[in-house]
Amino acid sequence: MIRNKTRRHLEPPKLNLTAMVDVFTVLLVFLLKSYTAEGVLSAPVPVTLPSSTSVNRGEVNLLVTVTEKDLYLDKTRIDDPTFGSSENPDIPKLGESLTALLINRPLSPEQKKVTILGDKKVPYFLLKKVIATFSQKGFGDISLAVYEKGADR
């Protein structure tokens, strides 16, 4: 009989939500900090990439975005009046930016990798000028980013 009396007066256990929310917050922060978007290239301006059957995925060290009117080097816009003309074989302002970049952040020959995000509508001579400028500055590993044919975009 004594047993039944003590059980009646016991309250059901309560769930401590504060501790659980703290644990989930720490878990969420950890997951967000450790998340990497490897394989995803983000351009500073919208670019429509061409399609290709290539499956080789290169390593990205330096990202260049080329549209019909603009040129971006790692999200920094390069203003060059000779960009749209086919007279010069290179882009002088891009060369100056690359020289400044190499002074501030010296790169070994293995690290001199460039990925070019070129819009479909960009004339070939502009891409050729960009590639020539990078070649003059010692960048030998130059890749053009494309969509994989048949992949969802």
Q: What is the pTM (predicted TM-score) of this model? A: 0.60
Average pLDDT in the 126-138 region? 87
Domain-wise residue ranges, the chain = 2-34, 51-148
**Mean pLDDT of the residues in the chain:** 78
Helix (H) / strand (E) element for 92: namely helix 92-104
Query: Mean of the pLDDT values across residues 109-128?
Result: 84
Residue 88 exposed, middle or buried by CB count within 10 Å (0-12, 13-18, 19+)? middle
CATH-assigned architecture of domain 51-148: 2-Layer Sandwich (3.30)
